[in-house]
């Protein structure tokens, strides 16, 4: 990744980018059970613009996707001042759980990065139907 400055405009040249791979594994923090149907949003850079939205399967895993990462050779160059990995932000939401946001998920070129997510269940809310049933039963007289 090279940056070019033209007056006050900074342009990132991504022609040297390669594919890295990312998968998100989502579980319940209380029992480590996988969470099916969680929505994972993946974004890159300061803009925070979502690049990809994935859903978890029965095992609580998203599919593996290819994402841009700097060339792996950057990590072998002694004079290199650039990060040899890409930083992604992963935000996960699931019904009945508090949202989780992880900034700094590191992806290297040619490597599968697995981001584990442990979601905390929200406190149970009494159902309106249940409270209605309980009220109806409590007003009945027993003979």
- Give the pLDDT mean for 1-26: 64
Model-level pTM? 0.74
Structure tokens at 117: 């997510």
**pLDDT attached to residue 81:** 81
Name every residue whose Cβ is closer than 8 Å to that of residue 95 and which is 6 or more positions away in sequence.
37
Whether the pLDDT of residue 14 is over 70: the answer is no
Please report the pLDDT score of residue 48 as a whole number. 77
H-type helices in 10-116, by residue range? Answer: none
Please tell me the distance from the alpha carbon of residue 72 to that of residue 83, in angstroms, as a whole number. Answer: 10
Measured CA to CA, the distance from residue 99 to residue 103 in angstroms comes to: 13
pLDDT tens for 89-142 read: 999 999 999 999 999 999 999 999 999 999 999 988 765 554 444 444 444 444
Query: pLDDT digits over 46-72, tens only?
Result: 777 889 999 999 999 999 999 999 998
């Amino acid at each position: 990744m090279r940056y070019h400055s033209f007056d006050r405009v900074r342009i990132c040249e991504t022609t040297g980018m390669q594919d890295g791979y990312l998968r998100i594994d989502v579980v319940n923090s209380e029992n480590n059970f996988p969470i099916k149907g969680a929505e994972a949003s993946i974004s890159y850079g300061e803009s925070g613009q979502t690049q990809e939205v994935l859903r978890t399967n029965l095992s609580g895993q998203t599919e593996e996707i290819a994402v841009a990462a700097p060339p792996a050779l950057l990590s072998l160059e002694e004079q290199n001042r650039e990060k040899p990995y890409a930083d992604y932000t992963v935000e996960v939401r699931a019904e009945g759980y508090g949202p989780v946001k992880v900034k700094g998920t590191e992806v290297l070129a040619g490597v599968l990065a697995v981001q584990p997510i442990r979601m905390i269940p929200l406190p149970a809310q009494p159902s309106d139907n249940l409270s209605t049933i309980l009220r109806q039963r409590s007003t009945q007289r027993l003979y």
